[in-house]
Amino acid sequence: MSDAPATPSGAPAASAVAKTRATICVDGFNIALAKGSGIATYGRNLLSTIATMGMDGQVLYGPNAKRSANNVLNETALVDADRPGPKLKKFDRFQRTLTSRFGRGAWPITPSGEVVWPTRGGGRPEANCFWASQDLFHLANRSFNAYGKETPVDFDTVGDAKRPDAMHWTATLPLYARGMPNIYTIHDLIPLRLPHTTLDDKATYMALCKAVAARADHIAVVSETTRQDVIRMLGVSEDRVTNTYQAVHLPETLTSRTQSDVAIELEGVFNLGWKDYFFHFGAIEPKKNLGRIVEAYLASGLETPLVIVGGRAWLDEGETALLNQVMKDGGPSAQRIRRYEFMPFSLLISLIRGAKATLFPSLYEGFGLPVLESMALSTAVLTSTGGSLPEVAGDAAISVDPYDVQAMTRGLRALDADEALRDDLVRRGLTQAAKFSVEAYQGRLSDMYGRLGLS
């Protein structure tokens, strides 16, 4: 006989027959960026994994448009061209900042199928429902900076919209969802570990991290390095912090292209040969160490070109000073270096695949996705001993002290001259990348959600 609870009619309760799919909502703070970011990639990968696990994913956005009675107009606000919202009077701005700490409402938006989402930002996230709250992230940050208070969010469940079972914030944000578990991913504590590499107000940043640590039902991190930083520097107990690492989701439509097709593309678009250039990509800011990469490359005297893809971020002057001077002076050195501020994702994948090696000797990383992506795409890697990079690279890369330019130069020369070394690193890299497979990530994420009753 069944032990399931019975309804008045004697039939088993519905909950005993079919388990309800858990619904996880992810913030769209970075996902909404037109050119993406490392955290945007993390958020999109998280949503894909949630779907693979049989859960429903949702995304919470903070558009500058007001709520409309028309669902399609509400959806267009999520992907509208980047333009300023209506200008507020000083008192109205003050009032909205002041009242933000008392709560903001979010309204549901059902994907209509009518709105074409921009592919360059990654396309429409893998989610069954979107939520929106006007200027949510902007107002929450203003309110925390002014009053040191987090902003609560209430989900307005109208119509068929399903309120999420949990909120997973993909960054340290001064926000929390009322009436449900709140999970926060802390990628790193670089503003505190390497304060000279960021423009953050360090006291405000510390206050925010402490608030998140106190508020969180659980904290996810992407490396053991960050896990230990969070436990030690924020005073969080070990059982409240889970290292899920990351996984790399590379579209098969790009990875299945033949070497010949990619080589033709590289030759046609960039005039570059297959496995005949070094590659560095990432936002130009101090921790990425571009200044020393350029110095080591020029000192190597190699003819193999160096291709750099990265937009200006912050404090980039010192990182680009030598590069800019060399490019200004012209001559053979300038001709060996190519620099691009932005690259479509498909071309970025081709550039990684065709590179002789990826150069990513960062000063410090919470994870280091470019290292994993390069290994998974059969490209040798030169990286550093900074932060979590040894965890990601293992023994499958040339690892150097990120402050040692001469060590970088020696590494570049070895990679350029020794094909057997590169082949060995590629083999090791594929084995190392498998440790960060989608399946492994799914298992770690499932274990973490299970602790909160969400599996």
**Over the stretch 329-386, which tens digit does the pLDDT of each residue have?**
888 888 899 999 989 889 999 999 999 999 999 999 999 999 999 999 999 999 999 9
DSSP state at residue 100: G
What confidence score (pLDDT) does residue 16 get?
Answer: 41
Q: Bigger pLDDT: 14 or 34?
A: 34
- Of 8-12, 48-52, 265-269, give the lowest mean pLDDT range: 8-12
Max Cα distance, the chain (Å): 87
How distant, in Å, are the alpha carbons of 144, 284, 285, 392 from that of 199? 17, 14, 10, 27
Q: For residue range 101-160, what is the model confidence (pLDDT) as tens digits?
A: 899 999 999 999 999 998 877 789 999 999 999 999 999 999 999 999 999 999 987 777
Burial 265-296 (b: 16+ CB within 10 A, else e): bbeeebebebbebbbbbbbbbbbbbbbbbbbb
User: What is the percent of the chain with per-residue pLDDT over 70, rounded to a whole number?
Assistant: 94
How distant, in Å, are the alpha carbons of 16, 66, 100, 172, 435 from that of 215? 33, 29, 17, 11, 32
Taking the whole predicted model, whether its pTM rises above 0.75 is answered as yes
Please report which confidence band the pLDDT of residue 93 belongs to, taking 50, 70 and 90 as the band edges: confident
Residue 81: both structure tokens together: 């061209």
The Cα angle at residue 212 between residues 184 and 386, in degrees rounded to 5: 70
Q: What mean pLDDT is predicted for residues 62-82?
A: 91
From CA 1, how far away is CA 394, in angstroms rounded? 54
Average pLDDT value over all residues in the chain: 91
Residues pairing with 168 in the sheet: 26, 183
From CA 211, how far away is CA 78, in angstroms rounded? 28
What confidence score (pLDDT) does residue 119 get?
Answer: 81
Q: Is the pLDDT confidence value at 2 over 70? A: no
Q: What mean pLDDT is predicted for residues 88-92?
A: 75
What confidence score (pLDDT) does residue 12 get?
Answer: 42
Residue 164: partners with Cβ closer than 8 Å, 6 or more residues away: 23, 24, 25, 58, 155, 177, 180
What confidence score (pLDDT) does residue 84 get?
Answer: 62
What confidence score (pLDDT) does residue 235 get?
Answer: 97
From the CA atom positions of the chain, what is the Rg in Å?
24
What confidence score (pLDDT) does residue 384 get?
Answer: 98
Please report which confidence band the pLDDT of residue 1 belongs to, taking 50, 70 and 90 as the band edges: very low
Q: For residue range 187-212, what is the model confidence (pLDDT) as tens digits?
A: 999 999 999 999 999 999 999 999 99
Q: Bigger pLDDT: 38 or 407?
A: 407
**Any idea which residue has 């009032």 for tokens?**
95
Q: Is the pLDDT confidence value at 3 over 90? A: no
- Of 59-63, 170-174, 239-243, 324-328, give the lowest mean pLDDT range: 324-328
